[in-house]
Structure 1
Amino acid sequence: MRAYTPKDDVQAKSYYTDRYYVAPQVPKSEVETDEVFASDLAAIKAKFKVKEAFIQVEQMIVYIDAKDIYGVLKLMRDELEYTQLSELSAIDWLAKDNTFEIFYQMLSMNKRKRIRIKYFIKNGQAVDSVNELFRSADWSEREMFDMFGIEANGHPFMKRILMPYDWQGNPLLKTYPLEGDEFAAWYEVDKIYGKEAREEIGPEIRDTARVDRYDSERFARLGHEVPKGTKITGNEPVAEQAYQEDGGVFLIKKLDKDSSVVIDDPQR
């Protein structure tokens, strides 16, 4: 059986640190520099509280209170001609201040403008569904629930959409392991064969970058490649590898196995 290292309670042990690269902010400009955006912002401010607004990459970003989202999007659809909700989702800032940043990407085909509406919620807080305003919100709100665990009040079918209904954990949280946790390692084994088969089968390997030199296709036996299905005896001749045809390519240095380097450090 394959060697296995338990991942008990790994989601409770956040590995998110400041070692991850944080991209610098794109330059912002005042809303007043764009006549259309200035008019749209004034219409929103007339009925709702706006915490912050600015232009970034030719689109306006507007921060509002979470409780106003339905009313703001209704105003934008009915009065400001932003008739398409092209995307909505969340950003995980739990490690920073235990909040999620929720965003709604709005598009006006008539004005050829985009506005992104944003607000913050605390961890465990639900949002108001906008599915009645935009049918495109149906699957997006379910995906946000599935991937981040954020429920949308008033949604007609608040169930997972990508993961199985009985899945544990939310894969887009920064604390969720890239290779899955203890539950993920045994999910399919338990479902298909039952827990009593764990000893015989072993946990699922979810590392997509893992190369097994004894895989069933024999493709990963570097330097000892053989045709598909060939029985491995251990006496196969070494196959020298060349990464470039004879004569090479103009301005490209010819590479071969002897000059290549295998990187063992995954953090490099």
Structure 2
Amino acid sequence: MRKYSPKDNVQAKAKYTDRFWVAPQVPREPVEDAHFAEVLQKMKTAVEVLDAYVEIGQLVIHIRPEENIDALRTLKEQCGYAMCSELSAVDYLAQDGEFEIFYQMLNLKERKRTRILTRIKEDQAIESIVPLYDMAKFAEREMYDMFGIYVNNHPYLKRIIMPDDWEGHPLRKTYPLEGDEFASWYEVDKIFGKEYRDVIGPENRDPARIDRYDTQRFARVGHEVPFGADPSLVDETETPVEYSSELLADYNKGPHKVLDKRK
């Protein structure tokens, strides 16, 4: 008889184990560096510091989103952080219902980096830092384009990568990797019209797919077909690759040497 095993709490147990390696969190260290301690002290007098620590050799400071201008002005005018090298967002909507916005600051004189972090809700806007750092003109537009985060008082807030009439924001985690239905029909509708959907078909956005019968069969070097011919009806005989006569003339001028092995 088969040995009986208790079934207690079987519904609460995970059916599958984690097959993927989960990287451990980067250790957070206390603020002991003299420069970072001075920066933190000045920041506490200007804004409310929610958290502060050192991570991978840089100071990380969490602030309230309403105080991003005051925080960055303090870093620039009192702490020597003349450069904002990067700013963007991270999508934590599914996990926390929030975006995390970060400002990567650089002090060229002291060769120190400080990262400012803040959290906003999905329907919450953030103030533009263009008056402090000109680089934010493009970076904040990209954040608006890719995540849909509105930036108040930006001088020219519009999409910078996607078309103006694009639907959705591609860097949100809810956005499909190969685009949604709107993306698959965008160029067909724009160039030919919706009435040609059945004729042309949806756009292929799989970068790994190669269709052997694409247009002139350009995907198969040496098997191209004449313009206007049906690639599926032409035989599979390989066409010899022809080189430009001018290129061959230059090559034949010489002198040339074939290397026996790579240097």
Deviation at 1:29, TM superposition (A): 1.1
Deviation at 1:227, TM superposition (A): 3.9
Partner Cα separation in structure 2 for residue 220 and residue 21 of structure 1: 37
Write out aligned runs for 1:177-256 (5 A).
Answer: 177-216=176-215, 218=217, 220=219, 226-229=222-225, 233-234=234-235, 236=237
Deviation at 1:70, TM superposition (A): 0.3
Identity %: 51
Partner of 1:57 in structure 2? 56
Letter in 1 for 2:202: P
Q: Secondary structure of the equivalent of 1:51?
A: strand
Partner of 1:27 in structure 2? 27
What do the CA deviations read for 1:124-157 (whole angstroms, capped 9, x no partner)? 1110100111000111000000000001001011
What do the CA deviations read for 1:190-209 (whole angstroms, capped 9, x no partner)? 11111111121111111111
> Kindly tell me: are residues 98 and 84 of structure 1, through their superposed partners in 2, closer, same or farther at Cα, counting changes over 3 Å?
same
Q: Which has the larger radius of gyration?
A: 2
Letter in 1 for 2:114: I
Partner of 1:68 in structure 2? 67
What do the CA deviations read for 1:51-94 (whole angstroms, capped 9, x no partner)? 11111111111000001100010111111100001110000001
Deviation at 1:27, TM superposition (A): 1.6
Unaligned stretches of 5+ in structure 2?
1-17, 239-263
Partner Cα separation in structure 2 for residue 25 and residue 49 of structure 1: 25
Partner Cα separation in structure 1 for residue 20 and residue 172 of structure 2: 14
> Kindly tell me: are residues 186 and 96 of structure 1, through their superposed partners in 2, closer, same or farther at Cα, counting changes over 3 Å?
same
**Which structure is richer in relative contact order (CA contacts within 8 A, separation 6 or more)?**
1
Deviation at 1:215, TM superposition (A): 2.6
Q: Secondary structure of the equivalent of 2:138?
A: helix
Partner Cα separation in structure 1 for residue 236 and residue 113 of structure 2: 64
Q: Secondary structure of the equivalent of 2:131?
A: coil
Write out aligned runs for 1:10-159 (5 A).
Answer: 23-32=23-32, 34-159=33-158
Q: Secondary structure of the equivalent of 2:61?
A: strand
Letter in 1 for 2:48: K
Partner Cα separation in structure 1 for residue 20 and residue 94 of structure 2: 12
Deviation at 1:169, TM superposition (A): 0.1
Question: What is the aligned residue count?
Answer: 217
> Kindly tell me: are residues 146 and 74 of structure 1, through their superposed partners in 2, closer, same or farther at Cα, counting changes over 3 Å?
same
Q: Secondary structure of the equivalent of 1:92?
A: strand
- State the Cα RMSD in Å: 2.2
Partner Cα separation in structure 2 for residue 89 and residue 199 of structure 1: 40
**Residue 218 of structure 1 contacts residue 226 of structure 1 at CA under 8 Å; is this kept in 2?**
no
Partner Cα separation in structure 2 for residue 200 and residue 22 of structure 1: 46
**Residue 82 of structure 1 contacts residue 108 of structure 1 at CA under 8 Å; is this kept in 2?**
yes
Give the ranges of 4+ consecutive aligned residues of structure 1 lying more than 2 Å apart after TM superposition: 18-24, 215-221, 225-237
**Residue 63 of structure 2 contacts residue 116 of structure 2 at CA under 8 Å; is this kept in 1?**
yes
Letter in 1 for 2:224: K
